[in-house]
């Protein structure tokens, strides 16, 4: 006859902290990373890693498409109405938000610049 081992007690259900989840996701989806290898190394199913990624993407609202206008590098402003908000970025780059922009689009653009 064969031997049977019975495990009793609470089921093996681990709780992962947000920091652990982000660390595992970063490791799994970094360039050259392999989800299956990371899952084995951390003793977690690869399906759970994809679930975490999906939930993280839903939590981080990505802004909708925003039309961009590229102006020649001579520094001249376009001859249309002046922008309502101008955000100066590093290296002389600039983001302009015009008064005609929908409030949700302006909020998404400013949130993306954080």
**Mean pLDDT, the chain, integer:** 80
| Residue 83 domain-assigned (yes or no) | yes
The answer to whether the pTM exceeds 0.95 is no
| Residue 3 domain-assigned (yes or no) | no
- Please spell the DSSP secondary structure of 14-79, one letter per residue: ----HHHHHHHHHHHHSTT--HHHHHHHHT--HHHHHHHHHHHHHHSPPP------PPPTT-PPPS
Q: Residue 37 is part of which domain span?
A: 18-59
- How many angstroms separate the CA atoms of 64 and 113, rounded? 14
Residue 53 and residue 39 share a domain:
yes
User: Which has more pLDDT, 76 or 47?
Assistant: 47
Average pLDDT over every residue of 85-98: 79
Residue 109 and residue 71 share a domain:
yes
Per residue in 13-42, pLDDT (tens digit) is 788 999 999 999 999 998 888 999 999 999
């Amino acid at each position: 006859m064969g031997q049977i081992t019975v495990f009793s007690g609470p089921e093996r259900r681990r709780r992962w902290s947000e920091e652990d989840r982000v660390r595992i996701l970063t490791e799994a989806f970094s360039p050259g990373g392999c989800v299956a290898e990371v899952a084995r190394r951390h003793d977690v199913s690869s399906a759970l890693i994809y679930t975490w990624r999906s939930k993280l993407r839903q939590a981080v609202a990505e802004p909708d498409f925003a039309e961009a206008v590229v102006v020649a590098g001579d520094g001249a402003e376009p001859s249309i109405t002046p922008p309502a908000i101008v955000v100066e970025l590093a290296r002389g780059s600039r983001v302009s938000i015009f008064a005609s922009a929908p409030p949700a689009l302006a909020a998404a653009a400013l949130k993306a610049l954080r």
